[in-house]
């Protein structure tokens, strides 16, 4: 029973995170852009969903807006919010290269986090928004968790399908060309900054949707859920799965979430023991990361399998 529960949790959170990993795969492994602020687009989606669907403020609420709209309106708003944030952050930064882009996206994410934390009029500041609206799924006759796991899985597969279509198209080949040799691509008339900007926007939309779904699952939206740790988790998942393949990105995320969740299943007697387990999880995650980057085993496997 505990294994069935673990499996559902892994599929549910793994799929949500895998959408982020897929977006990162498109941006970094295919587009050569280092985005260290993935969490901001995720948070933008989650907050947009919560704000559009929640009831107008009353009593102790400090937030200003609540539109009590149906869930699908919130869901669409989440994609739009993430897209809008990508326009806002991508437009000025995408001419920066490599590490500067990494630092600026990181900076944008930290500023966004700080605003959410301090500005009570958006989402009650550090308290966050609780009892976030979730669509009624009783009609399926199934457990809520299973329905949401299936929904997350569907969203991930849809994202993977769309991204795969993009990458397999001539557009995808232009992207590869830009990553491999920017100058050569430019010489044959490809508008590099524009194409990178487009990829940045395309990849942000599903991240916003994933944010909305995550808000439905947790029914809570608060700044503590959207820290730089989310960004790093997604990076670790991408590295774990081996770069540049959609299957790799998905498997890497699932494996990472599985490791993390199975360490959490074990019941701890004392606070101290739980704390040490949390630290062990952190150390293990970091160590896997370092080892994967150093030896890149999946990269080698792929090269072997591919006729040269």
Partner 1 sequence: MASGGTMTLFAQFLVAGVATGCFLILATIGFSLTRRVEGFLNIAHAQLIGVSAFTTWAVNVLLGWHILAAAAIGIVFTALVGLAIGRLVYEPIRHHGPAVMLISSVGVTYVIGGIVDAAVGTGIRTFDIPLATSYEFFGVRITDYQAMVMALAALSGVSMALFLNKTKIGLAVRAMAANPELAASRGIDVRRTSMATWLLASGLAGLAGVMLGVVATLSTDIAFRQILQVLAVAILAGLGSLYSVILSGLIVGIAMDVSVLWIPAGYRPLIAFALVIVVLLFRPEGLAGRKSS
Dump strand ranges (E) for the chain.
129-130, 220-221
Spatial separation of the C-alpha atoms in residues 92 and 111, rounded to whole Å? 16
164-169 long-range Cβ contacts below 8 angstroms, 24+ apart: 164/246, 166/26, 166/202, 167/26, 167/30, 167/246
281 in Cβ contact with 26 (< 8 Å): no
Tokens 């074990």 belong to residue: 266
- Which CB sits closer to partner 1, 262 or 275? 275
Q: Does 236 sit near partner 1 (CB under 8 A)?
A: yes
Q: Is 140 in the site for partner 1 (CB under 8 A)?
A: no
Q: Is 235 in the site for partner 1 (CB under 8 A)?
A: yes
What's the closest the beta carbon of residue 256 comes to partner 1, in angstroms?
A: 12
Q: How far is the CB of 273 from partner 1 (least distance, A)?
A: 11
Complex with partner 1: residue 96 or 127, whichever CB lies closer: 96
8 Å CB contact between 42 and 214: yes
Percentages helix, strand, coil for the chain, rounded to the nearest 5?
Answer: 75, 0, 20
Residue 56 is a binding residue for partner 1 (CB under 8 A): no
Do 283 and 69 contact (CB within 8 A), yes or no? no
Among 13, 41, 49, 108, binds partner 1 (CB under 8 A): 108
Give the DSSP per-residue string, 53-65: HSPPP-TT---S-
3-state secondary structure of 306: coil
Q: Which of residues 65-84 bind partner 1 (CB under 8 A)?
A: none
> 3-state class of 33 per DSSP?
coil
302 binds partner 1 (CB under 8 A): no
- Compute the least distance from the CB of residue 53 to partner 1, in Å: 27
Q: How far is the CB of 69 from partner 1 (least distance, A)?
A: 30
Question: Contact with partner 1 (CB under 8 A): which of 64, 88, 283, 301?
Answer: 283
Number of chain positions touching partner 1 (CB under 8 A): 43
- Report the candidate in 131, 135, 164 with the shortest Cα–Cα distance to residue 61: 131
Region from 48-56, 102-110, 166-174, 183-191 binding partner 1, contact rule CB under 8 A = 102-110
* Site stretch for partner 1 (CB under 8 A), options 46-54, 59-67, 112-120, 130-138: 112-120
How far apart CA 165 and CA 71 sit, in angstroms, is 28
Q: Does 107 bind partner 1 (CB under 8 A)?
A: yes
CB of 161 to partner 1, least distance (A): 28
Shortest Å distance, C-beta 82 to partner 1: 19
- From the list 23, 12, 10, the residue with the least C-alpha distance to 208 is 23
Among 11, 132, 156, 239, binds partner 1 (CB under 8 A): 239
What gap in Å lies between CA 77 and CA 304, rounded to an integer?
Answer: 44
278 counts as binding partner 1 under rule CB under 8 A: yes
Q: Which residues bind partner 1 (CB under 8 A)?
A: 34, 92-93, 95-96, 98-100, 102-104, 106-108, 110-111, 114-115, 117-118, 228, 232, 235-236, 239, 272, 275-276, 278-290, 293-294
């Amino acid at each position: 029973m505990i294994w069935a529960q673990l499996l559902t949790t892994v599929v549910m959170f793994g799929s949500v995170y895998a959408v982020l990993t897929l977006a990162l795969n498109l941006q970094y492994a295919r587009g050569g852009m280092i985005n260290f602020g993935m969490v901001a687009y995720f948070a933008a989606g989650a907050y947009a969903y919560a704000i559009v669907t929640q009831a107008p403020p009353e009593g102790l609420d400090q937030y200003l807006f609540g539109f009590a709209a149906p869930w699908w309106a919130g869901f669409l708003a989440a994609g739009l919010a993430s897209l809008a944030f990508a326009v806002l952050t991508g437009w000025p930064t995408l001419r920066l290269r490599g590490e500067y882009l990494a630092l600026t996206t990181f900076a944008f994410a930290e500023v966004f986090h700080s605003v959410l934390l301090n500005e009570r009029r958006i989402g009650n500041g550090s308290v966050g928004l609780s009892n976030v609206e979730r669509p009624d799924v009783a009609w399926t006759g199934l457990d809520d968790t299973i329905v949401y796991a299936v929904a997350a899985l569907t969203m991930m597969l849809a994202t993977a399908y769309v991204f795969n279509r993009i990458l397999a198209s001539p557009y995808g080949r232009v992207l590869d060309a830009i990553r491999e040799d920017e100058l050569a691509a430019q010489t044959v008339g490809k508008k590099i900054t524009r194409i990178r900007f487009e990829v940045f926007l395309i990849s942000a939309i599903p991240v916003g949707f994933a944010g909305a779904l995550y808000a439905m699952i947790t029914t809570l939206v608060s700044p503590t859920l959207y820290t730089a740790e989310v960004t790093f988790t997604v990076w670790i998942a991408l590295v774990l799965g081996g770069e540049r393949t959609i299957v790799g990105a998905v498997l890497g995320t699932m494996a990472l979430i599985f490791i993390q969740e199975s360490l959490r299943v074990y019941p701890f007697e004392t606070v101290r023991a739980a704390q040490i387990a949390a630290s062990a999880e952190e150390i293990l995650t970091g160590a896997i990361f370092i080892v994967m980057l150093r030896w890149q085993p999946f990269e080698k496997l792929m090269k072997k399998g591919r006729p040269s």
